[in-house]
Structure 1
């Protein structure tokens, strides 16, 4: 008898729970109002920074993305405790910053890591959220495997974050949402070569160019303001955007490096109308998670409850790296004597440099010294190669980047810098 009584009580509890959920759905339909919409964009810098500390930057990146996804879920659950997300229309997507040496396969894989709740049927939203999380955990390591094309920094072009802001960001924003952009980067915006990079007065496209001009000057802050140093402006405004720059990794050979680095980014954001921004230094994942919790006002699960990342460093003997190295060597051999193409690029860069509009600037318009011309050369053959190369859009991944070896950072406990209105 007692056994049947227990079963009856359990069934009653279950029915009561179901009735509560049904009532919540009815209330949501009756109310018709939707909670504020969030749009999360995660932008990855896959330049040579991923080689840092024997590629241990990679699992750190993946853990940070997982924490951002956990924060996204926490926000959803706060908006709808029933976990049905009936009226929730939040979005989240992963993006890879434009980069010459990153394969199209990486961009294709990243394009599948996105979640748009408004496009899902009400009964499918909770399931879609869990499936997308599994996809993130499964595909992120594969994306990084494809992104590691060499263990040599000179094989990587820079991640063009400037170009993303100038050409792509506007399309990723939602007018009716609170947009939050997470940029995972070391903070330097370095490219293939600092020589020949477009600049105007004291405006550049790489933080390194500015730092090299002001580094170790006792009055660097005054010189920065008086000389109007900074990144080339993007002729667009993003007032409805919050930006969080994560994993800034200042070099430790100058104590003012971090302050100048964040000053450069802050000025750039302000000039684009972005008033809400924050910076988080590269640190252990628990410190980073605490910073994310403070900035987003959410509670994240402990690190033990987030899927752990197992990463085996990619070596030069891996097939993917061998294939990439062969392709690079082949393209280098094909383009070594194409002087006219180099001259064309150089002319284009000069025209853009003299332009009165910042918006006409392309961050890949740079010039390199022309290759030495061979004494004996078949003119027709050279012309054929030149025309074929232009039509085929030469892969310039063979152009080397000049980067400094990174040292382990030494940082104070306080590692979060806030913008003026975050």
Structure 2
């Protein structure tokens, strides 16, 4: 009898020990899975091909603005390829792509941009593909800008509509760390997307800032009292990180930069963007670390 009791106790202890180990193993597997998911990058670039890139209308003797964009894109692609190289083959599951809104009328631009939609996974990852990705992103964007400038058909930038109708489908995927890099001077205007509700608008121009008297030291008080800002275009972007590069305020208004950044900040906050940074136009060499730090930083 005593022997039977001892056997039962040993059996129960063994079952309990195995159960705890299995639970611990399952928990570790879940942690590993979550960690792997957070390592999957889904990077999108949204280009503003409005007249801001025109060397004729907005010349810059230090470095033309479209060339700065090209430098920023190169830093993004380098951060992306460095990330892919750091992973084991079995963990490869990363994407990078480039968008415009509206789509340029030049079919050649659209053809070139298709090559910029790249997915690297465990089934196709190779040193050659990674190197080709870096090469394509160093070459194709420059060709796109040159064609857009040559056409001279600057139809504006419909960034607001992109956030309203496309961003969820194009830029956000489950089990990825979703990052959107927007290259813009901070102004938004497209002739077919001009909506206004009180002082909330789907656009932002120097003329709007001036007409709203947001060009004096009391600009923020006026903005708050009169409720100036962007109309909300989306309700929940909590799985998206955004880096805005190239803010280039009109220098005739010393408060223009603050107004632009406040518009964008409040817009992102009301749309519940997970994380964002808004940076002025600067030389690519100065922006390289900022861009790579944003992409490499995990939250």
Q: Report the TM-score when normalising by structure 1.
A: 0.56
Partner of 1:103: 106
Cα shift at 1:180: 0.5
Partner of 1:344: none
Partner of 1:267: 266
Cα shift at 1:150: 4.8
- The SS at the match of 1:117 is strand
Q: Deviations over 1:2-54 (max 9, x none)?
A: xxxxxxxxxxxxxxxxxxxxxxxxxxxxx998462111001111111111326
- The SS at the match of 1:207 is coil
Q: 1:249 touches 1:281 (CA, 8 Å); kept in 2? A: yes
Cα shift at 1:192: 4.4
Q: Is 1:205 matched with 2:202?
A: yes
Q: Deviations over 1:103-136 (max 9, x none)?
A: 2432232122022113x625x4332221222222
Partner of 1:78: 86
| Alpha-carbon separation, structure 2, partners of 1:250 and 1:216 | 12
| Alpha-carbon separation, structure 1, partners of 2:201 and 2:259 | 14
| Alpha-carbon separation, structure 2, partners of 1:102 and 1:186 | 22
Q: Is 1:53 matched with 2:59?
A: yes
Partner of 1:228: 227
Partner of 2:163: 165
| Alpha-carbon separation, structure 1, partners of 2:44 and 2:176 | 12
Cα shift at 1:295: 2.4
- The SS at the match of 2:156 is coil
| Alpha-carbon separation, structure 2, partners of 1:63 and 1:105 | 22
**Any gaps of 5 or more consecutive residues in structure 2?**
1-31
| Alpha-carbon separation, structure 1, partners of 2:293 and 2:215 | 33
Cα shift at 1:229: 1.2
The 5 Å alignment of 1:139-158 reads: 139-150=140-151, 155-158=153-156
| Alpha-carbon separation, structure 2, partners of 1:297 and 1:136 | 18
- Runs of 4+, deviation exceeding 6 Å: none
Q: Deviations over 1:182-215 (max 9, x none)?
A: 001111013349xx93211111122225422133
Q: Is 1:121 matched with 2:157?
A: no
Q: Deviations over 1:139-176 (max 9, x none)?
A: 2222122211455xxx5221111111111111121111
The 5 Å alignment of 1:401-412 reads: none
Q: 1:205 touches 1:232 (CA, 8 Å); kept in 2? A: yes
Q: Residues 202, 252 of structure 1: CA spacing in aligned structure 2 closer, same or farther, 3 A cutoff?
A: same
Partner of 2:131: 130
- The SS at the match of 2:252 is coil
The 5 Å alignment of 1:23-34 reads: 34=36
Residue in structure 2 matching 1:89, options 65, 71, 93 = 93
Q: Deviations over 1:318-365 (max 9, x none)?
A: xxxxxxxxxxxxxxxxxxxxxxxxxxxxxxxxxxxxxxxxxxxxxxxx
Whichever structure has more strand as a proportion of its residues is 2
The 5 Å alignment of 1:6-405 reads: 34=36, 36-51=39-54, 52-53=58-59, 56-80=64-88, 85-98=89-102, 102-118=105-121, 121-122=123-124, 124-150=125-151, 155-172=153-170, 173-192=172-191, 197-208=194-205, 210-212=208-210, 213-297=212-296
Partner of 1:401: none
| Alpha-carbon separation, structure 2, partners of 1:171 and 1:178 | 15
C-alpha RMSD of matched pairs (Å): 2.6
Q: Report the TM-score when normalising by structure 2.
A: 0.78
| Alpha-carbon separation, structure 2, partners of 1:197 and 1:34 | 42
Q: 2:159 touches 2:188 (CA, 8 Å); kept in 1? A: yes
| Alpha-carbon separation, structure 2, partners of 1:45 and 1:147 | 11
| Alpha-carbon separation, structure 1, partners of 2:154 and 2:139 | 25
| Alpha-carbon separation, structure 2, partners of 1:109 and 1:272 | 32
Q: 2:92 touches 2:120 (CA, 8 Å); kept in 1? A: yes
